[in-house]
Structure 1
């Protein structure tokens, strides 16, 4: 459990973790908020089942699409699914999500979701995301 400050409010990352796990069919979700050592940012690592995503793609074997192109499509679909989390995040926060890794052995796609106080700004949020992506896994 970790608390962050957003404007004049204090938010419990566990509350949003619970909402995220209840509203979506992700393989699993990991709350990285406390490990970030930031007092204004929610951070979640989200794992998608690649087979489940693949079943949702409208791709036929006859389409002659390379495995690399299919993985790109899976990553885009994973991003789209995570973007729905923004609907539960307070409007006083900026959101960022990015699918960054396909793990063939575990058959999963990893996505990072970050929400920060709007006072942080878009540029700083981008810097935070880059730092987090370098430090995980």
Structure 2
């Protein structure tokens, strides 16, 4: 397996882990310290649709990395793939900044913050490696 494919798989796994965490919070598991500043240990019912949204979004991101890394087939053209990749990378940067510098929750700061930071760095590498090989 080539470097870009390995990076894509690793990024997909990191986003899938976050999607599973959001899904577990949606079900009522006491994992709230990982998200939203750790304000809620168990998320209230009125806030759980946000967890559904993030679980679906992070799942799409995981799927997209597998598509971008050419592990899964894609009908998307290069321009759209690159645009979505740049968007996801930008969102990873924003999530990293929020997790490390704004959140007061240690679980969010070092748990999900480390995952988003690693995903951001690997996304940059994947984007650059893919640009060179295409």
- Specify which structure has the bigger relative contact order, considering alpha-carbon pairs within 8 angstroms and separated by 6 or more residues: 2
Q: Higher strand fraction: Structure 1 or Structure 2?
A: 1
Please give the range of the TM-score, normalised by the shorter of the 2 chains.
under 0.3
TM-score (norm 1): 0.27
Q: Higher helix fraction: Structure 1 or Structure 2?
A: 2
